[in-house]
Structure 1
Amino acid sequence: MSRQVTAPGRAKEYETIYILRPDIDADGAERIGTRLAEVVTREAGRLTKVETWGRRRLAYDIAKHRRGVYVYLKYLGGGKVVSEIERNLRLADGVLKYQTVLVRNDVEVQGLTVADEDVKFERLELAPIEDDRDDSRERQLGLIEPERRVDRSSEAAPAGDIDEAEEGEAEGAADEEES
């Protein structure tokens, strides 16, 4: 089993994407973000990019949710940083799913400059949750027929309400049958 050791001043680059519950409030999302930033700095890592992608539709339902708030983190550090971030995400109630990926194995830490805006967690400003029933891609593409509404005026009229034109047609059909 080979083990790769990074030289001093070098680190591994990771990306973590985590999905928050769609009904999470801005304070809850901010608490999770600050906790993750503290974990990265405590474990001698360095945040390089933070993006909030907003509320998006999930590929499949997770814990009966169809949507989730996506947050993207990019950071430098070792395996201990990753395990601590994932442990904190696992313990947070507002997190539905997360995934961490190793981007690069050997990154120079000293030469790296990061703007403060890139590592700042944005405050969530989400619109109220809407109903998803009419939002399906199949319905938008026309693969699913639209629901047919029953029109009361086109329903069959009761026997006593037959128009005169329909009476004439009915009598003509009866005469043909007798012939």
Structure 2
Amino acid sequence: MRKYETIFILHPSFEEEAVKAAIEKFKGVIENGGGTVDNVDFWGKRKLAYEINKVNEGYYTLVNFSSNPELPKELDRIFRITDGVIRHIIIKEEK
């Protein structure tokens, strides 16, 4: 098991329930893929550093998790096909 962290930004037009549902969806992908979610840190709506597709703000969420090396590839695929995810990044934590 390796430790990873991911940050994703959701579109600001999402309602509060939709944001919570998206976070639960991504947690479910990690847990169903054999990983464990260590921490979920919801930062709320923040201004983006630069405009992306005419959007200036979004809902930021940081998730720390442990998993096998194949799970981040699947999580990346899920982020790419999910509507409303503006940006995402998955990083392997160094020891």
Indicate whether the TM-score tops 0.5.
Answer: yes
Q: Which residue of 1 aligns with 2:4?
A: 14
> What's the CA shift for 1:36?
1.1
Q: Is the 8 A contact 1:15 1:103 kept in 2?
A: yes
In the aligned structure 2, how far is the partner of 1:65 from the partner of 1:32?
Answer: 19
Q: Which has the higher helix share?
A: 1
Q: Provide structure 2 residue ranges, at least 5 long, that are not aligned to the other structure.
A: none
Greater relative contact order structure (CA < 8 Å, 6+ sep) = 2
Give the alignment partner of residue 26 of structure 1, picking from 3, 10, 16: 16
Compute the TM-score of the two structures, normalised by the length of structure 1.
0.51
Quick check: 1:104 aligned with 2:85? Answer: no
In the aligned structure 2, how far is the partner of 1:42 from the partner of 1:69?
Answer: 24
In the aligned structure 2, how far is the partner of 1:104 from the partner of 1:12?
Answer: 9
How many residues of Structure 1 are paired with residues of Structure 2 in the alignment?
A: 95
CA RMSD of aligned residues (A): 1.2
In the aligned structure 1, how far is the partner of 2:20 from the partner of 2:44?
Answer: 13
Q: Which residue of 2 aligns with 1:69?
A: 59
Q: Which has the higher strand share?
A: 2
Which amino acid letter does the alignment assign opposite residue 9 of structure 2? I
Spell out structure 1 runs of 4+ moving beyond 6 A. Answer: none
Compute the TM-score of the two structures, normalised by the length of structure 2.
0.92
Q: Provide structure 1 residue ranges, at least 5 long, that are not aligned to the other structure.
A: 1-10, 106-179
Give aligned-pair identity as a percent.
27
Q: Which residue of 2 aligns with 1:56?
A: 46
Q: Which residue of 2 aligns with 1:42?
A: 32
